[in-house]
Amino acid sequence: MTYKPLALPDRVQLSPDDAVTASADYLSYMKKRHSVRDYASDPVPQSVIENIIATAGSAPSGANRQPWHFVAISDPAMKQKIRDAAEEEEKSFYDGGAGDEWLSALEPIGTGVNKPHLTDAPWLIVVFAERYGLNPDGSRYKNYYINESVGIALGFLISAIHHAGLVCLEHTPNPMKFLNELCNRPINEKPVMVIPVGYPAADATIPAAAKQKKPLTQISSFF
């Protein structure tokens, strides 16, 4: 494929005043996003999940390789297998594999071995990063800025989940190699995150520490 310029197909430019208002409104809305571990049993239509994943797939990526794959799971048996495997890995993590410093950092978050969110949430989205691409003849081609690209797509995904009125949790069991076989994904893909998605339970809670965000002055510099 050769370079071919295309006139910008969509323009969403706002006036400066409207941009200030829109950005402030979006900030306020995103401050209502929370990582939730307690899920209601209410079903979520597959079409909603499809739209959310399609939004993530619209993210920019290095050389437009789009090095990602999203596996959406609602099957209770598959969710149970993921939970069983994840909890087995977490036992080693919390029994000392993580080290004292890491476990101390997690203490205010209230995490532990048990992962009921992996079976309670109506959907799990398993995110895979494509380490390299495969041509039809089996030969490899290189992907670029894989971690950065998948990270951007994950941001789109989480924002789209929130925009749909749902909650999620960014769950990263380690190691996660079992997910390739379970999700029938090829060896050139690496699982990077399992995201439970659904509605919050009536008695859902979040860690108080999660509301402690660094102020703008600590996360930005202007010149």
Q: Is residue 156 part of a domain?
A: yes
Residue whose pair of structure tokens reads 């949430």 in the numeric block: 121
Q: Which letter, b or e, does each residue of 111-150 get, where b requires 16 or more Cβ atoms within 10 Å of its Cβ?
A: beeebebbbbbbbbbbbbbbeeeeeeeeeeeebeebeebb
Residues in the chain: 223
For residues 53-64, give the mean pLDDT: 98
Classify residue 2: in a domain, yes or no: no
* 27 assigned to some structural domain: no
For residue 10, being part of any structural domain is answered with no
Cα separation, 58 vs 158, whole angstroms: 13
Asked if residue 128 is part of any domain, the answer here is yes
CATH of the domain at 192: 3.40.109.10
How many domains does the chain contain in total?
Answer: 1
- What pLDDT is stored for residue 17 in this prediction? 98
Average pLDDT of the segment spanning 134-157:
96
If you count DSSP H runs as helices and E runs as strands, how many of each does the chain have, helices first? 8, 6
pLDDT for 100-117, tens place per residue? Answer: 887 888 888 888 889 999
Examine residue 154 and state whether it is found in any structural domain, yes or no: yes
171 touches 178 (CB < 8 A): no
174 band by pLDDT with thresholds 50, 70 and 90 = confident
Task: Please report, to the nearest 10 degrees, the dihedral formed by the alpha carbons of residues 219, 193, 71, 205 taken in order.
Answer: -80
Provide the domain limits for residue 150: 35-200
Q: Residue 177: which pLDDT band, with cuts at 50, 70 and 90?
A: confident
